[in-house]
Amino acid sequence: MPLHAASPALPSFRKQQLLVEFSSLRYAQLDGVFLSITPGDPSLWVGVIFVRKGPYAPAVLRFQISFPSSYPTLPPLVTFSTDVFHPLLTPLTTYTYTTGSSDTDTVSATDEERLPPGGFSLRHGFPHWFGRAQRSAPSSRDVSGSAFGSPALSAIPVRSDFKVTSGVPQPTEEVSIVKILEYIRSTFSEEKILDSLPLEAAANPGAYHAWRSYRAPALQAQQSVSASPSPEPFTSEKTADNSTLGRNRRPSDWNWEGVWEERVRKAVKASLSEPVLFGAGAGEDIIRFRDEEMAEGMKKHLEVAALRMAQS
């Protein structure tokens, strides 16, 4: 089945369940997350994350959630239309995913749990969805409906003071869409989440190695005062023989110094650009405030005008 083919028709009770779950988000607490549901297709939600702290701030990230007909037996498919260099995000320009093997850095072309471009890996946060029993189940995780940009029925701003304690949701906890959104948001704002990622859960192995190289000094400092060792050694050392061709070395041996910083800086900047925020067709109809003083003056002018209209 093509990756973007429409999913099987949802039973009426499943549609109602998704509508109820979406409505319940009005009472959730997810700071910086906004969601809307696609008219006529409750299985496709679209959203935006405003990253307000952490390594990816202040990025603005657009994404969509597609629910298979067998949800919650099978996980939803989360895809981002904003291209970001992130260990759990498949690049928009290619299919890439790990084999799940702990003794190789290679990429498999036959992994049945592969993600489409922009796909977000939930393997680390919700491993129970990716056991052997699930691997034998028929795949129905394809993206349904159209790409991001579909007209929204209603937009729900969701706010939160969610605190990451254990790093990932516990397997015994009931998985709700709120927990999924909490986890996704935390992977952009909490260093400890990315620090705990194993290679087999990464959707972008290059971003995984680049992040570990970037975090090596901080993690080595933590290890020096901690009795518990890290699951995997962190290192930022360059390979001794720089003349060796990259194809003859494992990706973990490549020189990743400065890669994460540069790629993320460009991605965050691009996410704030007018074409990304307002669409490729954005033109002269966009109001641009030249400075803070002008913006504040315009705000006061609009407040006065609104007050006069209310009194008339």
Is CATH 3.10.110.10 the right assignment for the domain spanning 12-98+108-193?
yes
**Residue with the larger pLDDT of the pair 131 and 51:** 51
Q: How confident is the model at residue 174 (pLDDT cuts 50, 70, 90)?
A: low
Give the pLDDT of residue 117.
93
Q: Which tops the pLDDT comparison, 152 or 312?
A: 312
Determine the pLDDT at residue 114: 78
- Specify the length of the chain in residues: 312
% of the chain surpassing 70 pLDDT: 56
Highest mean pLDDT among 44-48, 71-75, 160-164, 237-241: 44-48
Q: How confident is the model at residue 197 (pLDDT cuts 50, 70, 90)?
A: very high
CB 64 within 8 A of CB 44: yes
* pLDDT tens by residue, 82-100: 999 999 999 987 654 444 4
